[in-house]
Structure 1
Amino acid sequence: MKGFVQDIESLAIKNHEFRRVLYTAQHCQLVVMSLEPRGEIGAEVHELDQFFRVEEGSGEAVLDGVRTALRAGFGVVVPAGTKHNIINTGSVPLKLYTLYAPPNHRDAVVHRTRAEAEADDEHFDGKTTE
């Protein structure tokens, strides 16, 4: 079957890596993330749109300086050009998934920690999952 059809909630909750790219299409990309307590994605700005959905834990979204509390079930849409960050303010890992449109990372890349992700200067190279 072409495409990606799986239980994304379960995959996000079971994920222990900071970032794991699950599927890359030509115009969007699906990634699961896990942020340790007091961890964060890190403030960033993309020239693409991004969507986050929280599956487990609590935290806050910061979009252009505006802070909003998050918990399981919350979604966040980050328009291109918006300075943003997702921060785990809870005591357990914050489990979420994100969609980039267009893709932002190399297909199938896995970063166990934020430090590992920051040390890897990888970017989407045009190769899709299929």
Structure 2
Amino acid sequence: MKGFVEDIEGLATRNDEFRKVLYTAKSCQLVLMALKPQEEIGAEVHQLDQFFRVEEGSGEAVLDGVRTTIRAGFAVLVPAGTKHNIINTGAAALKLYTLYAPPNHRDRVVHHTRADAEADSEHFDGKTTE
């Protein structure tokens, strides 16, 4: 089958990996993330658009210094060039998925922890899932 058709909410809530790339198309990429209590993605700026959807937990989205409380059901759209961070402020894991447009990571990469992600200099290499 071409494309990706799955229960994204179930995949996201069962995910315990800091980052797990599920599917990479030519122009966008689907990634699961799980942040431990008090963990954050880390402030960053991309030259691409990014969308987050929170499936479980609570935290803060910080976009160009503006902090907004987020929880399950919230969406965050980060335009290219925006300094941003997602922070888990809760006592349980913050489970979410994100879409990068265009892709940002190597297809199928898995980072078990934030430290693993920071130690890996991987970036999208042009190879898609199909």
Structure 1 residue 78: deviation in Å? 0.1
Calculate the TM-score normalised by the size of structure 2.
1.00
For the pair 1:38 / 2:12, whether they are aligned, the reply is no
Gaps of 5+ in 1: none
How many angstroms apart in 2 are the aligned matches of 1:60 and 1:9?
20
Seq. identity, %: 81
For the pair 1:126 / 2:112, whether they are aligned, the reply is no
Residue number in structure 2 paired with 1:26: 26
Gaps of 5+ in 2: none
How many angstroms apart in 2 are the aligned matches of 1:71 and 1:107?
28
1:4-15 map, 5 Å: 4-15=4-15
For the pair 1:63 / 2:63, whether they are aligned, the reply is yes
List per-residue Cα deviations over 1:83-102 (Å, max 9, x = no partner): 00000000000000000000
Calculate the TM-score normalised by the size of structure 1.
1.00
Secondary structure of 1:60's aligned partner: strand
How many angstroms apart in 2 are the aligned matches of 1:63 and 1:87?
11
Misfit runs of 4+, over 2 Å: none
In the comparison of the two structures, how many residue pairs are matched?
130
Structure 1 residue 105: deviation in Å? 0.0
List per-residue Cα deviations over 1:35-80 (Å, max 9, x = no partner): 0000000000000000000000000000000000000000000000
Q: Which amino acid aligns with 1:115?
A: A
CA RMSD between the two structures: 0.2
